[in-house]
């Protein structure tokens, strides 16, 4: 699993790739969680390179979402592959945050 972070305006964009599975999930939650700083953080995870997710990965995502929301911030995903999207949908995650088709859509929606 690879995690790369960049600042785009007032938002943190984290590009994730690889398998978000039981072995990777704890490190993922800790590393991405460390990017959630300050008041009302904006965090976008670009999942374009994530080709596999399990319940452990969903748990890690939920921990990060909780952290962002506890600080009054905004969390979103973009570029999610179809099988991963299906898992998010069926787990009720799509109702908890926005999932944008691509990064430019997400940046535009979160800029306001």
Q: Which listed range, 4-12, 37-45, 52-60, 103-111, lies at the site for other proteins (CB under 8 A)?
A: 52-60
Q: CA 72 to CA 101: how far, in whole Å?
A: 24
Tokens of 67: 């952290």
- Whole-number Cα distances in Å, 102 to 21, 34, 37: 23, 24, 24
Q: Which listed range, 6-14, 32-40, 75-83, 103-111, lies at the site for other proteins (CB under 8 A)?
A: 75-83
Among 8, 56, 74, 109, binds other proteins (CB under 8 A): 56
Yes or no: say if 16 and 47 are a contact pair by the CB < 8 Å rule.
Answer: yes
The answer to whether 24 contacts other proteins (rule: CB under 8 A) is yes
The answer to whether 82 contacts other proteins (rule: CB under 8 A) is yes
Question: For residue 93, what is the DSSP state?
Answer: G
Among 65, 77, 99, 107, binds other proteins (CB under 8 A): 65
3-class SS at 97? coil
Which chain residues interact with other proteins by CB under 8 A?
A: 19, 21-24, 51-56, 58-59, 62-63, 65-66, 69-70, 81-84, 86-87, 90-92, 95-97
């Amino acid at each position: 699993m690879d995690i790369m972070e960049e600042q785009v305006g007032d938002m943190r964009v984290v590009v994730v790739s690889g398998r978000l599975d039981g072995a990777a999930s704890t490190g993922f939650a800790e590393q991405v969680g460390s990017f959630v700083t300050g008041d009302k953080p904006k965090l976008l995870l670009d999942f374009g390179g994530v080709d596999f997710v399990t319940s452990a990965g969903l748990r890690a995502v939920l921990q990060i979402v909780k952290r962002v929301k506890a600080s009054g911030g905004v969390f979103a995903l973009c570029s999610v592959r179809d099988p991963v999207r299906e898992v998010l949908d069926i787990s009720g995650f799509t109702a908890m945050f926005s999932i944008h088709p691509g990064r430019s859509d997400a940046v535009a929606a979160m800029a306001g």
